[in-house]
Amino acid sequence: MASQTSTDYDRTKELKQFDDTKAGVKGLVDAGILNIPKIFIRPAEDLAADELNTAKKNIQVPIIDLSDIGDENRRKEIVNQVRIASAEWGFFQVINHGIPTSVLDEMIQGIRLFNEQDLELKKELYSRDRAKKVIFSSNFDLFTSKTADWRDTLTLSFLDSDPDPSDMPPVCRRSTMEYIKHMKRLGETLFELLSEALGLPPDHLSSIGCCKGSSLHSHYYPPCPQPELTLGVRKHADAGILTLLLQNHISGLQVLHEGQWFDVRPTRGGLVINIGDLLQVLSNDKFKSVKHRAIANCVGPRITVPCFFSGHATLLEKPFGPIKELISESNPPRYKEFLLKDYVAKFLSSSLDNKPPIDYYKL
């Protein structure tokens, strides 16, 4: 397929054929393909650039131990680590965060069971209608991106309310509800630490709605017969406020740091935390939202569950910009104020390849 010329290749047709199967990338693997379809193959210039920039294995993204967080001196130490990691890397892993390993394992297992159940049951949830709370799909930007990514996704959105268990797929309902409960609690703790790391009262970020409005995007990356030609997720920065990521034992996540790709290796019981574009805005560039991606693997499935905190629905109509307490003559605002609903509209009408919404508001 890769050898087809541009004259006899109808990309739109191939995209539609793939989408119409409602079987996702796993459907291709189950069909026994040996060569990946052209819609997944990255441009030659991207592949060449990667040859010059292989991931660094020896330097690790900061790992922050949250044990004894109630101790005053220990908490100061943790806040300082969060401040440095958020400013220099935009990424860190947390361990001893209080979520039982069994809850994490069951969440991963639930997503595996969902993806590996009878296809007809999955097809019932396959949709591109973003208004739905529960969607199974492959590549949210399939028809607008330059290249498709090697992954399938179960999206659970509960932006302005607690999720209704009956909305959840039965095969992963219990594990997901339990996981969400723990994510919300950990999110509150992290927003306290991030507030303190900005020199603000612990409740500052939660008081402006950062803890509210979240969604789970459970990604399933089947083994790929030609992983060197595609990606699990293209290079991007997260558009929301904060992301909490659970990953199984298979590596794939890479972070762009000082112009180089660094592997974020899974840590048993650990969760990866990263700053989103909106928190970069709120912090007036004190915290960095950085580009990252996921490579494809010849082994699998790799399973990841990012929980995105994006702010309460009530924030959509309010002006959004750098926190006033962080602005001064010596530190003027780096962004103009904007309406969050306009920002969200820009994100939803775009693809990961396009200009990030945050760039429209830079001063």
Does residue 1 lie within any of the structural domains?
Answer: no
Could you tell me if 280 and 246 are in contact, meaning their C-beta atoms sit under 8 angstroms apart? Answer: no
pLDDT tens for the chain, residues 1 to 363: 444 444 567 999 999 999 999 999 999 999 999 999 999 999 999 888 886 666 666 788 999 999 999 999 999 999 999 999 999 999 999 999 999 999 999 999 999 999 999 999 999 999 999 888 899 999 999 999 999 999 999 999 875 567 778 888 999 999 999 999 999 999 999 999 999 999 999 999 999 989 888 889 999 999 999 999 999 999 999 999 999 999 999 999 999 998 889 999 999 999 999 999 999 999 999 999 999 999 999 999 999 999 999 886 666 678 899 999 999 999 999 999 998 888 888 877 776 667 788 899 999
Contacts of 207 (CB under 8 A, 6+ apart): none
Does residue 96 lie within any of the structural domains?
Answer: yes
H or E element at residue 153: strand 152-158
Does residue 3 lie within any of the structural domains?
Answer: no
Q: What is the pLDDT of residue 19?
A: 97
CATH number for position 50: 2.60.120.330
- CA atoms of 209 and 277, how far apart (whole Å): 16
Does residue 356 lie within any of the structural domains?
Answer: yes
For residue 225, the enclosing domain spans 10-361
Q: Is the dihedral of CA 309, 313, 315, 320 positive or negative?
A: positive
Number of domains in the chain: 1
Contacts of 87 (CB under 8 A, 6+ apart): 286, 287, 288
Q: Rounded to whole angstroms, what are the CA distances from 121 to 29, 169, 346?
A: 18, 9, 33
- CA atoms of 247 and 269, how far apart (whole Å): 9
Does residue 107 lie within any of the structural domains?
Answer: yes
Does residue 83 lie within any of the structural domains?
Answer: yes
Could you tell me if 280 and 238 are in contact, meaning their C-beta atoms sit under 8 angstroms apart? Answer: no
Structure token pair of residue 52: 């010059």
Does residue 2 lie within any of the structural domains?
Answer: no
Does residue 191 lie within any of the structural domains?
Answer: yes
